[in-house]
Amino acid sequence: MSEPVHFDTPIISQLMTVEDAWIDYNDHLNMAYYNVLFDRASEAAIEILKLGEAYRRAEDRTLVTAEAHVTYLRELKAGAEVRASFRLLDADAKSLHIYQELFHSDGWLSATSESLLLHVDLTAARDTPRVVRFSEQVTGDIQTMLRYHRTLPRTKHIGRVIGIQRR
């Protein structure tokens, strides 16, 4: 019998620290490293769904990011301690739509990220992974997580479109 799956609402990452090497010439966190923090934070949720590194090694399947939209709200400096939340917004047989928020340890929101993850089979040609369906077990866990996460209120940052605001 497998361990019960826990679906915290939302899933909150461990505390992470902004590294000195990630600071750019503007003396704040370089935009690329926001994605590093979001990626590291999503690992806990991916492990809950049993789609992490062990799954990759055993099944030769994994999740890849097809699209990401990061909104930078307040800059982070070297040494800042942050946590990220993770919530599942939607899912289908082959993909996950996720939303994350990055919070400074003082409680303020620094950035958000909305991403589309695809489930790919890596056994095909290595240079062209093929998008494939999740197994029935994984689909069941995804749907359970989705039910929990859909109880969360929608924020104004979900579904934002990039564009110049004309006034």
Q: State the average pLDDT over residues 2-30.
A: 86
Residue 117 has pLDDT above 70, yes or no: yes
Quick one: pLDDT at residue 68?
95
The domain tally of the chain equals: 1
The angle, 0 to 180 degrees and rounded to 10, between the axes of the packed helices 136-149 and 31-48 is: 110
Tell me, yes or no, whether 56 lies in a domain: yes
Tell me, yes or no, whether 156 lies in a domain: no
Residue 21 has pLDDT above 50, yes or no: yes
Q: Which residues contact 119 (CB under 8 A, 6 or more apart)?
A: 51, 61, 62, 63, 94, 95, 96, 131, 132, 133, 134
Quick one: pLDDT at residue 25?
96
User: What is the per-residue pLDDT across 67-113, written as a single tens digit (0 to 9) for each?
Assistant: 999 999 999 999 999 999 999 999 999 999 999 999 999 999 999 99
Domain of 52, in residue numbers = 11-149
Tell me, yes or no, whether 105 lies in a domain: yes
- Whether 87 and 98 have beta carbons less than 8 Å apart is answered as yes
Tell me, yes or no, whether 159 lies in a domain: no
pTM of the model: 0.90
B/e letters for 2-22, b = 16+ CB within 10 Å, e = fewer, are: eeeeebeebbbbeebebeeeb
Tell me, yes or no, whether 3 lies in a domain: no
Percent of the chain with pLDDT over 70: 93
To the nearest whole number, what is the mean pLDDT of the chain?
92
CATH of the domain at 50: 3.10.129.10
Tell me, yes or no, whether 130 lies in a domain: yes
Quick one: pLDDT at residue 4?
46
Quick one: pLDDT at residue 167?
83
Tell me, yes or no, whether 160 lies in a domain: no
Residue 26 has pLDDT above 70, yes or no: yes
Tell me, yes or no, whether 4 lies in a domain: no
